[in-house]
Amino acid sequence: MQNTLLELQDLTVRFGGLCAVNKLNMKVNTGEAVGLIGPNGAGKTTAFNLVVGVYKPSEGKVIFDNEDITGLPPNEICKKGIGRTFQVVKPFGKMTVLQNIMAGAFVNTAKTQEARQIASEVMEKMGLQSKRDKLAASLTIPERKRLEMAKALATRPKLMLLDEVLAGLNPTEIQDAVLLIKSMIKDGVTILMIEHVLQATMAICERIVVLNYGQKLAEGTPEQVTGNEEVIKAYLGDDYA
């Protein structure tokens, strides 16, 4: 019996007349890696922002770890154990790589020494130790993406929301990143990831949820989902179904 870590119940948000996420129901079990895919504008990032409290849902609930966390502000939700990365990475430019990660590690400790310890471990795991004292603003794109994950990882999340961490990377870099994410899963972090690079997503995730127009279109194993006519239609248009 797996236990549910995150559950979205009828999650809905409207911006003016637009219903960006519409009665979304889904579950993520502890230890799982779930992919969230869908065409541009399907509401994936909005769904993330609803979970982490950037937007308040118009209706519905977010249950995390058997607790209703709907409508809590982002910093509280982080403390509950949900880490997130941003689609457009947001490094703290004028801080070094280590300081960036330390800023995340401070959630669990007030002691600078301990935070440095935690951050160093995360930094090593993410392969950033050679950049330790570089300013984040000077990093390359793949490095920034890794830093983005490292910052979130340093908060010791139970659940990690990854928003297109593979986008913009070349095939070798994607391979490296996939290994990193897999090692995160091995360390016991549950993953929910938005991704456009489908192959990589399938290599990581056991289960995939497809969104379209803010609604759940399909759900299942990677094979089930890619075979689904509705999904193909949504991605490629009616002609290909």
190, 5 contact by CB (below 8 A): yes
- Provide φ and ψ at 191, rounded to 5°: -120, 135
Owner of token pair 């960036």: 100
Nearer to another protein, 95 or 203 (CB): 95
Window 129-148: contact mask with another protein (x via CB under 8 A): --------x-----------
Does 65 participate in binding another protein (rule CB under 8 A)?
no
- CA torsion, ordered 231, 218, 63, 149, to nearest 10 deg: -40
How many other C-beta atoms are found inside a 10 Å radius of the C-beta of residue 170? Answer: 9
Does 224 participate in binding another protein (rule CB under 8 A)?
no
In the list 17, 94, 133, 188, the residue contacting another protein (rule: CB under 8 A) is 94
In the list 55, 86, 213, 235, the residue contacting another protein (rule: CB under 8 A) is 86
Residue count (the chain)? 241
Does 115 participate in binding another protein (rule CB under 8 A)?
yes
Residue 182: half-sphere exposure toward Cβ, Cα within 13 Å: 12
Which residue stretch of 106-114, 194-202, 215-223, 233-241 sits at the interface with another protein (rule: CB under 8 A)? 106-114
200, 164 contact by CB (below 8 A): no
Residue 125: half-sphere exposure toward Cβ, Cα within 13 Å: 21
Which residue stretch of 1-9, 32-40, 102-110, 230-238 sits at the interface with another protein (rule: CB under 8 A)? 102-110
Does 112 participate in binding another protein (rule CB under 8 A)?
yes
Does 102 participate in binding another protein (rule CB under 8 A)?
yes
Query: What six digits make up the tokens of 129?
Result: 């130790």
Least distance (Å) from another protein to the CB of residue 138?
Answer: 9
Helix (H, G, I), strand (E, B) or coil at 178: helix
Instruction: Report how many helices (DSSP H) and strands (DSSP E) the chain contains, helices first.
Output: 9, 10
In the list 19, 54, 167, 185, the residue contacting another protein (rule: CB under 8 A) is 54
Number of residues that bind another protein (CB under 8 A): 31
In the list 27, 87, 106, 226, the residue contacting another protein (rule: CB under 8 A) is 106
Give a three-class secondary structure readout of 74-103. Answer: HHHHHHHCEEECCCCCCCCCCCEHHHHHHH
Nearer to another protein, 1 or 110 (CB): 110
- Residues lying near another protein in the complex (CB under 8 A) are found at 52, 54, 73-75, 78-79, 83-84, 86, 90-95, 99-100, 102-104, 106-107, 110, 112, 115, 137, 151-152, 154-155
